[in-house]
Homo-oligomer: A and B are copies of this chain.
Amino acid sequence: MLRIGHRPVRDHRVTTHVGLVARAFGADGIILEEHVEKSVIETLLETAKRWGGPFEVRVTDSPRREVFTWKKGGGVIVHLTMYGINIQSSNIVERIRRRENPLLIVVGGKKVPRWMYQAADYNVAIGNQPHSEIAALAVFLDRLFGGEELIREYRNAAIKVIPSPRDKIVRRLDSEKRRGGPSNTG
């Protein structure tokens, strides 16, 4: 996925949350604008190292070029925006799922440039109310993957949570398991 319109300092934590959500909800990686703070990238890489992957993080000096290169390569662009087609009152997720081309999901903040709306194959609204690009990404991926992303096993994780009704249980995984054989993460 691609995060555009990052404003330094102000968006620091929001962009970190966008990246964590991308990983936890099944995206393969995230492309960030090159002026993003180093600490954002470090947090995402550190999370993928401790909790497992794969999850790629890279930066770009031109989101626009990323989008058009993706399109030229036969990929599909989904732009999440409150102005788009409402995910709940349309079959847009089914239509997107039916296309088997690689998907680039784009989320911005308030100031997404005009060309993005034109370049997108689908402008999708997670409801048409103002809320959060973090929430939009999570709900879109949750519906795209049908919830299966939430029980996926991550490869090469150093730790994992053991779900519990009332406690915080974190298990350290031995190195044998970390090198791990086959995994069902697809």
Chain A, interface SS category: mixed
Question: A134, B87: Cβ atoms under 8 Å?
Answer: no
B138 touching A131, Cβ below 8 Å:
yes
Interface 9-residue window, one of A6-14, A28-36, A61-69, A174-182: A6-14
Q: Out of B21, B51, B83, B131, which one reaches A20, CB within 8 Å?
A: B131
Give Cα distance in the complex from A135 to B135, angstroms. 5
User: What residue of chain B has the Cβ atom nearest to residue A120's Cβ?
Assistant: B166
In the bound complex, how far is the Cα of B126 from the Cα of A122, in angstroms? 26
Q: How far is the CA of A9 from the CA of B24 in the complex (A)?
A: 26
- For the complex, is A164 an interface residue (Cβ under 8 Å from B)? yes
A125 lies within 8 A of B163 (CB): yes
Query: What count of chain A residues pass the 8 Å CB interface test?
Result: 57
Cross-interface CB contact of A165 among B85, B126, B138, cutoff 8 Å:
B85
Q: Tell whether A173 is near chain B: CB-to-CB under 8 Å.
A: no
Q: How far is the CA of A69 from the CA of B160 in the complex (A)?
A: 34
A residues near B (Cβ < 8 Å) are 10-11, 13-14, 17, 20-21, 23-25, 47, 51, 81-89, 117-118, 120, 122-123, 125-132, 134-139, 142, 147-151, 154, 160-161, 163-170
Since A126-B150, A135-B138 are in contact, a sample of 5 more A-B pairs with Cβ atoms closer than 8 Å, ordered by chain A residue number, is: A20-B132, A21-B132, A81-B168, A83-B164, A88-B148
